[in-house]
Structure 1
Amino acid sequence: MSDTPVQAAAKNLDIKEVIRGRRTIKKFQEQPVPVEKITEFLDTAVWAPNHKLREPWRFLLFREEGRQKLSEAIAAEMGEDNKFVTTVLNVPTIMLVVMKEDPRQAIFDEDFAATSALVQNFMLAAWAEEVGTFWVTKPFLYGPKFRETLGIVPGEKIVGMLYIGYPDVVPKPQERTSASEKLTIFK
């Protein structure tokens, strides 16, 4: 008799260890992660819970010379003289996660939560294979010049910009507040 999917996953990987071990990586090796590997992480990430399988997301991937397009979009919004123009040229791969916005608040909230879960899934899938990420949210992501340069249309929200690469430096873990300190139980 073969293992259930849960038993098979438990044998291969302890998800609790991956969650607790994941770190935000800000310094990467130069070698880019292969596109096939990133696609594999995305194919895992899309299993995020999303109401009625709306799958409200799309992705923009910048690597190699494509990073120049992203730096131009940032410069269009913030001017040439800012640290982000240089930063994106030094990160091996950057991905924007874009969500279709629904005008109905409840559906927007569900879709935003689902897309955020997708980002977390991506980060965990990557970390499980020793690939680091950094989820970046900056004001320029909302800028009209930035969005126009990259073809992000009205009715779309950038949920985040992910730096992706092999870690050069892995920071030490920082303590977390125990959930029990923030838990209210009603009996």
Structure 2
Amino acid sequence: MTNIAKTIRERRSIKAGYIDKEVTQETVLSLLEDAVWAPNHGLREPWRFIFVPADEKEGFVEDLVKTFPPDMRDNRRNYFSQPAAILVVVMTEDPRQKQWDENFGAIGAMIQNFQLLAWEQQLGVVWKTNPHIYDPKVHELLGVEKGEKIAGFLHLGYFDEVPPAKKRTPIEDKFSVYGK
């Protein structure tokens, strides 16, 4: 198995169990420098990023939980406080369906690149697309403009325990040959 195939198969989404180790801006920028080499039609580079480092996270979480109903705030405060840092991925939307789809495909490829590169450094990532990414109050908080969408929050943190692999459907069950 090649190194890249091994990394693809071993990478896991790290959703919890983060250790007390800072995720630095320099690390995130370094990972992004390579991750953005993802295929993207017309080199539109349909992304921008908002990094929430450890020293800003508490204030960010307090501002973010205010966008939730009062009965959800404690739960959301706990949820958003777990990762060491958060990277918000913002996508340029295009009114043309084909270009919108291409942009979202590019975002997915870039995020996968980021996750694989982070995994090589034992930095855990999980791509979150919870309902708050559609909330106009969250868009306002983050300065998301008209013509942009939040593609997701990437929760970042170093970890000690690797979650077990989850079974995949055999590829033969998802594969067909045209005309046969």
Name the TM-score, length of structure 1 as normaliser: 0.88
CA displacement 1:3-46 (0-9 Å, x = unmatched)? xxxxxxx9xx7000000000111221111122222111111110
Matched, 1:174 2:166: yes
Matched, 1:64 2:54: yes
- 2:68 equivalent among 68, 74, 78: 78
- d(CA) in 2 for partners of 1:86 and 1:37? 25
How far does residue 111 in structure 1 lie from its aligned partner after superposition? 0.4
- d(CA) in 1 for partners of 2:40 and 2:53? 28
User: Residue in 1 aligned with 2:82?
Assistant: 90
Instruction: Give structure 1 stretches of 5+ with no counterpart.
Output: 1-9
The residue matched to 1:77 in structure 2 has which SS?
Answer: coil
User: Residue in 2 aligned with 1:116?
Assistant: 108
Matched, 1:15 2:4: yes
How far does residue 87 in structure 1 lie from its aligned partner after superposition? 2.3
CA displacement 1:79-109 (0-9 Å, x = unmatched)? 3524222222231111000001111110000
Identity %: 39
Name the TM-score, length of structure 2 as normaliser: 0.91
How far does residue 129 in structure 1 lie from its aligned partner after superposition? 1.7
Amino acid at match of 1:31: K
- d(CA) in 2 for partners of 1:68 and 1:173? 32
The residue matched to 2:159 in structure 1 has which SS?
Answer: coil
How far does residue 70 in structure 1 lie from its aligned partner after superposition? 3.1
Number of residues paired by the alignment? 176
The residue matched to 1:70 in structure 2 has which SS?
Answer: helix
How far does residue 73 in structure 1 lie from its aligned partner after superposition? 4.0
How far does residue 69 in structure 1 lie from its aligned partner after superposition? 4.1
CA displacement 1:113-143 (0-9 Å, x = unmatched)? 0011100100001011211111111001110
- d(CA) in 1 for partners of 2:93 and 2:62? 25
| Kept after mapping to 2: 8 A contact 1:50/1:111 | yes
- Would the alpha carbon gap of residues 152 and 72 (structure 1) be closer, same or farther in structure 2, given more than 3 Å must change? farther
The residue matched to 1:109 in structure 2 has which SS?
Answer: helix
CA displacement 1:124-166 (0-9 Å, x = unmatched)? 0101121111111100111011110111122111111111111
How far does residue 60 in structure 1 lie from its aligned partner after superposition? 0.5
How far does residue 65 in structure 1 lie from its aligned partner after superposition? 2.9
Q: CA RMSD in A?
A: 1.7
Runs of 4+ in structure 1 deviating by more than 4 angstroms, as ranges, are: none
- 1:37 equivalent among 20, 24, 27: 27
Amino acid at match of 1:39: L
User: Residue in 2 aligned with 1:4?
Assistant: none
